[in-house]
């Protein structure tokens, strides 16, 4: 708790172009929860270097992501929006938690398996211990709730296990966090291969809608989305392409999947795809305009970066000092 509010932590990697999946699965929920909780939203740039990055590009993307958080509607005076690499406590706590996490647990992580298959020439130790850094991110702020898409559930479970293990040995040090998964949009699928999740790293640009895609590009991608030959708009797993488009439309308009099915009863896929495209544009265009506006105001964003790093450091250090003491590190001499 901070004051009378529960704590929320979440983050996104500044890698690749953010997709509609990141927005609907995570960012959108961050905004709806931000009044209720004391929130920490991190640009997790330390996670990004588990895969080789171009330094100038990473810096640029990290700034763009931080700006996007604000553009999406998170007030940086109320929500702590900051770069993970500006708070050294993340790395320090991660080291300690490494000593409370088993190799066997990390070996089971599907994201590790996927990423090591994709980057077979660079299966580094950071990629392996990635979930421990993620646990440190969350536990450092004593977060009660962590809004994420379904793909992060396994990491969340591990975070809970590590927190409980630590608490079991040392008493109640960490809040054990709960995942928050949105009702719609928690797993947006590829527009080209609806059995796969929509991903920043997909090589086919038509598979993903990027948050910065121009309206005509968004429309084109929606029109080209893979459906089926059933010729009926129903929300069921036998029609994964159509189901995904219903999810997208539903998350963008606030209508339930049932309402969407009724709305499009008897209509063709062509009409539906145009409506999905329009709904996505109506959500992304204002976001893009706001990013544009904020990009003109360098001093404002710089101020936010500085202020919020200090705030994050303050809370991070509180937890870190407590943990260091529990595990037996010598006290500092003042």
Q: How far is the CB of 328 from ligand TYM (least distance, A)?
A: 27
How many angstroms separate the CA atoms of 150 and 71, rounded? 24
**CA 79 to chain centroid:** 16
Nearer to ligand TYM, 151 or 178 (CB): 151
Count of beta carbons in the 10 Å neighbourhood of residue 243: 19
Identify whether 223 is a catalytic site residue. no
CB of 334 to ligand TYM, least distance (A): 33
- Nearest approach in angstroms of CB 10 to ligand TYM is 4
Which of helix, strand or coil describes residue 8? strand
198 versus 211: smaller Cβ distance to ligand TYM = 198
Catalytic member of 6, 187, 200, 223: 200
**Residue 212 near residue 219 (C-beta atoms within 8 A):** no
Catalytic residue among 60, 77, 187, 197: 197
CB of 163 to ligand TYM, least distance (A): 13
Pick the closer one to ligand TYM by CB: 130 or 264: 130
Integer Cα distance of 152 and 148 in angstroms: 6
Q: Which of 115, 221, 243, 273 is flagged as catalytic?
A: 115
Least distance in Å: CB of 273 to ligand TYM? 19
Active site residue 115: yes
Question: Residue 43 in 3-state DSSP?
Answer: strand
Helix (H, G, I), strand (E, B) or coil at 87: coil
Q: Is 187 a catalytic residue?
A: no
Which residue, 12 or 81, is less far from ligand TYM as judged by CB? 12
Binding footprint of ligand TYM on the chain (CB under 6 A): 9-13, 21-22, 25-26, 44, 47, 134, 137-138, 146, 148-149, 151-152, 186-188, 197-198
Rounded distance, CA 96 to CA 17, Å? 32
User: 271-274: long-range contacts at Cβ-Cβ below 8 A with a sequence spacing of 24 or more?
Assistant: 272/233, 272/242, 272/245, 273/222, 273/223, 273/225, 273/227, 273/245, 274/219, 274/222, 274/223
Nearer to ligand TYM, 205 or 270 (CB): 205
Residues carrying an active site annotation: 115, 197, 200
């Amino acid at each position: 708790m901070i004051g009378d509010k529960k704590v929320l932590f979440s983050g996104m990697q500044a890698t690749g172009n953010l997709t509609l999946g990141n927005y609907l699965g995570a960012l959108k929920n961050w905004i709806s929860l931000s009044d209720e909780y004391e929130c920490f939203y991190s640009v997790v740039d330390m996670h990004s270097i588990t895969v080789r990055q171009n330094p100038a590009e990473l810096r640029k993307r990290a700034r763009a992501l931080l700006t996007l958080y604000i553009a999406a509607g998170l007030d940086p005076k109320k929500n702590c929006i900051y770069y993970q690499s500006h708070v050294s406590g993340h790395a320090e706590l991660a080291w300690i938690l490494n000593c409370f996490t088993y190799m066997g647990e990390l070996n089971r992580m599907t994201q590790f398996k996927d990423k090591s298959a994709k980057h077979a020439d660079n299966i580094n130790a950071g990629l392996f211990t990635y979930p421990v850094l993620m646990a440190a991110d969350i536990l450092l702020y004593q977060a009660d709730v962590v809004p994420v898409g379904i793909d992060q559930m396994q990491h969340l479970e591990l975070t809970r296990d590590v927190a409980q293990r630590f608490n079991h040995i040392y008493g109640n040090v960490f809040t054990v966090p709960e995942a928050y998964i949105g009702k719609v949009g928690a797993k947006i699928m590829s527009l080209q291969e609806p059995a796969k999740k929509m991903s920043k790293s997909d090589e086919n640009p038509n598979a993903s809608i990027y948050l910065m895609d121009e309206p005509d590009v968004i429309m084109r991608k929606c029109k080209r989305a893979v459906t089926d030959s059933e010729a009926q708009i129903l929300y069921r797993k036998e029609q994964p392409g159509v189901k995904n488009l219903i999810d997208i439309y539903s998350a963008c308009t606030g209508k339930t999947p049932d309402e969407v099915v009724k709305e499009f009863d008897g209509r063709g896929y062509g009409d539906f795809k145009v409506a999905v495209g329009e709904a996505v544009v109506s959500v992304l265009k204002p976001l893009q305009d706001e990013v544009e506006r904020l990009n003109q105001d360098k001093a404002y964003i710089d101020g936010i970066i500085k202020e919020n790093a200090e705030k994050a450091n303050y809370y991070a250090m509180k937890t870190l000092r407590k943990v260091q003491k529990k595990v037996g590190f010598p006290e500092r001499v003042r």
